[in-house]
Amino acid sequence: MANHLAANLHPALPGRASPQTGWASSQTGRGRPQKPSFLADKGAVKPILMRNFARKQRMRKQKNHILKLTHTLRPCLMGLLLATLLGSCSSDNSKGRQPAADTSSQHTLPVDPALRRRLADLAAAPRPQGRLGFHVYDLTADRPVYGLNERKALPSASCLKLLSGVAGLHLLGTRHLYATSIYTRGQVVGDTLRGDVTFRAGLDPQLNGPDLGQFAAALRRKGIRRIGGRLLLDLQLHDPVRSEAHWYPWDLSFSHYGLLYKGAPRVQKELTAALRARGVSVADSQVALGRTPRGSHCIFRFYRSVDRVTERMWKHSSNTQATALLYTIGHRADPRAEPTAAGVAYLRRFMREELGLRDSALVVHDGCGLCTHNRLSPEALTTVLRYAYRHRPIYRLLLAQLSIAGVDGTLRRELAGPKTRGKIRAKTGTLSHPYGISSLAGYCRGSNGHLLAFAIMDSEMSVLDARVLQRKLGEALVARPEPGR
């Protein structure tokens, strides 16, 4: 490094080490320097050698000076370089720690002003008597577009299923599986199991009598035609599902629930019938409630994914599936508590801790929306939709399972006009007592290509009048760009 610095700082001077004398080549070549031919006279050799010696001494001193200077400056140069690198890193880190709001503010996308005008016109237009609130949020721009009574707590009806479904998927995961299994313990001698059979069931909301034949078939494949020991029922839910205190008697038919929600006696009856139908002999006196004994071996397990449940509760607004999911939430959140109470407690906690909804006017009593005392606001519903949008696995499932306007589900006959058909995916909510309650919340794409989350809630007006307002809102959301604007 010192030689390199010396070469740059002290280039060859005229008259020194010129090519004609050969000094330059001797500095870089091998062997000792060759004497020039004009030094044949020995008398002239000594002065010339003295001059050369002095020149070498000067060059050696210069080289040593440069080396000392380099060693002296090296710590300073390294410190300067390190400070520069650290400064650039800290600058990059400070940029990465900027709040999301600050970063997004530099790239804020505008909301559609034409959409805002249309929504303002809808809010100002004459309408039937009753209570109305709606809220529209631009998910692409991450900004609210417009709201009317958006923070007013109103009866939510079945739009509450958006909250219970999203909260359930947050707790359980979008890949949650309900498992139902059959175990044996003991040896098979001939066609008799000298031991116990255990039917172990979780909370599968859709398990019914016809499914039980698969468990009987599994026993037959093991050569079992008789059970010599006990038939144990290892159930998470022993008692039948209970109606919420504020439900109307005709709101929910008990017969629509899955087998596991009808109580242990009904499970016993259906299971023994399925076993006997497949040629497996068992007496009623052999059946008992109990835990799966140690040493038991699973011979068959049946799975059902949670998306089968959410599809029925979102697209077809199944109250039984929503209630069953609430039981699942409650059992997962607090296995020792009563499932409904634990499930409702979790929904309220989810609203506070995950959604930031702490308004005491927002009230949840069940997971399906049948209770007329449930209260949510349009902004609360769009907050649920925003939460789902930010959590992609939940959003993909929700978007695929919401009803499509004029196409399927509970919107098959609603919003079916040419302006809205196929352009809106939403959850409906309707109760006709004690007064008209109707709500609609979901997603659509605006005329500027932005994805929108919206919610409209109507109460104390006829359901027909409410649906007219919902249609007008839907048309305003997906209207084509206005000419000349």
Q: How far apart (Å, rounded) are the C-alpha atoms in residues 133 and 127?
A: 12
pLDDT band for 68, please (50, 70, 90 cuts): low
Shared domain for 466 and 344, answered yes or no, is: yes
Q: How far apart (Å, rounded) are the C-alpha atoms in residues 422 and 424?
A: 6
Q: If you average pLDDT over every residue of the chain, what do you get?
A: 84
pLDDT band for 432, please (50, 70, 90 cuts): confident
Q: How far apart (Å, rounded) are the C-alpha atoms in residues 166 and 82?
A: 50
Shared domain for 327 and 265, answered yes or no, is: no
pLDDT band for 428, please (50, 70, 90 cuts): very high
Shared domain for 470 and 329, answered yes or no, is: yes
The answer as to whether 29 is a domain residue is no
Shared domain for 285 and 199, answered yes or no, is: yes
Torsion, CA 267, CA 273, CA 275, CA 276, rounded to 10: 160
Shared domain for 326 and 235, answered yes or no, is: no
What mean pLDDT do residues 157-161 have?
Answer: 97
Per the structure, the count of domains in the chain is 3
Residue 458 reports pLDDT greater than 70: yes
pTM assigned to the model? 0.77
- The answer to whether 276 and 223 have CB atoms below 8 angstroms apart is no
- The answer to whether 255 and 311 have CB atoms below 8 angstroms apart is no
pLDDT band for 247, please (50, 70, 90 cuts): confident
| Single residue among 278, 306, 334 that ends a domain in this structure | 306
Q: Three-class SS string for the chain? A: CHHHHHHHHCCCCCCCCCCCCCHHHHHHCCCCCCCCHHHCCHHHHHHHHHHHHHHHHHHHHHHHHHHHHHHHHHHHHHHHHHHHHHHHHHHHHHHHCCCHHHHHHHCCCCCCHHHHHHHHHHHHCCCCCCEEEEEEEECCCCEEEEEECCCCCECCHHHHHHHHHHHHHHHHCCCCEEEEEEEEEEEEECCEEEEEEEEEECCCCCCCHHHHHHHHHHHHHCCCCEECCCEEEEECCCCCCCCCCCCCCCCCCHHHCCHHHCCHHHHHHHHHHHHHHCCCECCHHHEEECCCCCCCEEEEEEEEEHHHHHHHHHHCCCHHHHHHHHHHHHHHHCCCCCHHHHHHHHHHHHHHHCCCCCCCCCECCCCCCCCCCCEECHHHHHHHHHHHHHCHHHHHHHHHHCEECCCCHHHCCCCCCCCCCCCEEEEEEEECCCCCEEEEEEEEECCCCCEEEEEEEEECCCHHHHHHHHHHHHHHHHCCCCCCC
What mean pLDDT do residues 125-142 have?
Answer: 96
What mean pLDDT do residues 41-62 have?
Answer: 57
| 60-69, 382-391, 437-446: range with lowest mean pLDDT | 60-69
The answer as to whether 36 is a domain residue is no
Residue 30 reports pLDDT greater than 90: no
Shared domain for 444 and 322, answered yes or no, is: yes
Shared domain for 159 and 145, answered yes or no, is: yes
Tens of pLDDT, residues 348-380 = 999 999 999 999 999 999 999 999 999 999 999
| 96-110, 164-178, 373-387, 409-423: range with lowest mean pLDDT | 96-110
Shared domain for 315 and 458, answered yes or no, is: yes
pLDDT band for 79, please (50, 70, 90 cuts): low
The answer as to whether 32 is a domain residue is no
In this predicted structure, what is the pLDDT of residue 433?
75
The answer as to whether 15 is a domain residue is no
Shared domain for 285 and 335, answered yes or no, is: no
What mean pLDDT do residues 330-343 have?
Answer: 96
The answer as to whether 484 is a domain residue is no
Nearest of 445, 448, 431 to residue 399 by alpha carbon: 445
pLDDT band for 65, please (50, 70, 90 cuts): low
Q: How far apart (Å, rounded) are the C-alpha atoms in residues 264 and 335?
A: 18
Q: Which two tokens stand for residue 155?
A: 């009866």
Tens of pLDDT, residues 82-127 = 445 444 444 343 333 322 333 333 357 899 999 999 999 999 999 9
Q: Which two tokens stand for residue 164?
A: 């219970």
Shared domain for 284 and 314, answered yes or no, is: no
Shared domain for 253 and 339, answered yes or no, is: no
The answer as to whether 104 is a domain residue is no
**Domain of residue 238, CATH code:** 3.50.80.20
Shared domain for 183 and 258, answered yes or no, is: yes
The answer as to whether 452 is a domain residue is yes
**Domain of residue 436, CATH code:** 3.40.710.10
By residue range, what is the domain housing residue 291?
177-306
Q: Which two tokens stand for residue 171?
A: 């707790």
Q: How many of the other CB atoms lie within 10 Å of CB of 175? A: 11
The answer as to whether 337 is a domain residue is yes
